[in-house]
Amino acid sequence: MARKTPQRQNSAGNERRGKKPSAKPQGQGETGLLGSDGLLSRILDIADDAIISIDQNQRIVMFNQGAEKTFGFSAREVFNQPIDILLPDGFAAQHRRHVREFAESPIAARRMGERGEISGRRKDGSAFPAEASISKVDIEGRRIYTVILRDVTQRRVADEKIRASLREKEVLLQEIHHRVKNNLQVVSSLLSLQSRGVLDEETRQKFKESQNRVHSMALIHEQLYQSPSLSQINYPQYIRQLAAHLFRSYRVSSSRVELQTHIDHVRLSVDAAVPCGLIINELVSNSLKYGFPNGRGGVIRIEMRRQPDGRTTLTVADNGVGLPAEVGFWSTQTLGLRLVGTLVKQLEGNVEVERSEGTTVRVTFQLESTGEGE
């Protein structure tokens, strides 16, 4: 009986059996660690990231399937080629310097595995952004540098869409603050026009007080419109502008009544800035109207301090004639002082009053986070 001669499996036979010929270059060793049939090569081919190994001469000795997808080259095309073919013009020298410095630096100083931003170049010549890390290992007596690279083009596109969307929202919020400020200024102007037809001085005074309250809120939105941050304002500047407006409104010269401000760097959201502004408006107005009668001079002090426990204390004080003992924030018939009590409740804070050597009103409350770093 004649013996059958076994057929040799060649590349064509492999293709007929549905087996894909290896894309790894010849010469790497069929069973070596870097070879096409090596265990490490098969494991690295599973990775989606591009994994590229280069020798001490910066020539490519391993190119996984992730690298083939990323760069468009086959492993055979790049084997033993300089790494420069994967880098855009002008970046090769920088890469060579980076590898040399990495190789020469002390082991303790090497940041193996740390990702950095680079650029890659595909087979068609197009450049793309990437993140890459580099590490070194000795394999079969050879010093090998391995680069793990990830194409971040889609992430960059998504990030840019997010940034564009945020820019649109910032412009929209700025426009909202601008329009709110304009509308409040219109209300203030209407109150001013309406007061001109009122003959009773007490009624005219109430119109002025309402006008100042509207102005204090409009000033908040003007600050937010001008601020680089749409969630907080320059509160020291706001307080100075508000106080200057009140001095002009009540025709009090700064040479007669001095204004002193001591404002810590605190971050106030709109929810806290508006009630704080109204509190300052009411207390400073009260001092200017009643604290310094008959041309008496003195000092009005405004402070905002951040306490060690994280709370904030707002203090408005004057050395005028003082607040009568029977006047309080909860029982008084005066709208302005009752408004202060209501605003303190809105801030979920507490208020203290000292009546010695003038009047000192101290409001303590807890600031909510604005969502930005301190």
Amino acid at 199: L
**Sheet with 127-139, side-by-side order of all strands:** 60-63, 50-54, 142-151, 127-139, 116-121
* C-alpha to C-alpha distance for 79 and 367, rounded to whole angstroms: 62
pLDDT-derived band of residue 314, with 50, 70 and 90 as boundaries?
very high
Measure the CA dihedral 321/327/329/330, to 10°.
180
Distance set, CA 45 to CA 131, 285, 305 (Å): 19, 76, 61
Q: Which domains does the chain have, with CATH numbers?
A: 22-151 (3.30.450.20), 234-368 (3.30.565.10)
Give me the percent of the chain exceeding a pLDDT of 70.
78
Which burial class, exposed, middle or buried, applies to 240 when counting CB atoms under 10 A from its CB (0-12, 13-18, 19+)? middle
Distance set, CA 33 to CA 28, 72, 79, 129, 348 (Å): 9, 24, 15, 30, 68
DSSP 8-state class, residue 87: S
pLDDT-derived band of residue 360, with 50, 70 and 90 as boundaries?
very high
Strand (E) or helix (H) holding 354: strand 350-354
Distance set, CA 16 to CA 20, 21, 74, 75, 132 (Å): 10, 11, 22, 23, 39
* 3-class secondary-structure state, position 70: helix
For residue 263, give both structure tokens. Answer: 């404002």
Measure the CA dihedral 71/76/82/85, to 10°.
-30
DSSP 8-state class, residue 371: S
pLDDT-derived band of residue 79, with 50, 70 and 90 as boundaries?
very high
pLDDT-derived band of residue 205, with 50, 70 and 90 as boundaries?
confident
Is residue 145 left, alpha or beta, with left meaning phi > 0 and alpha meaning psi from -120 to 50? beta
* C-alpha to C-alpha distance for 270 and 346, rounded to whole angstroms: 13
For residue 93, give both structure tokens. Answer: 């020298």
Residue 302 has pLDDT above 90, yes or no: yes
* 3-class secondary-structure state, position 370: coil
Residue 15 has pLDDT above 50, yes or no: no
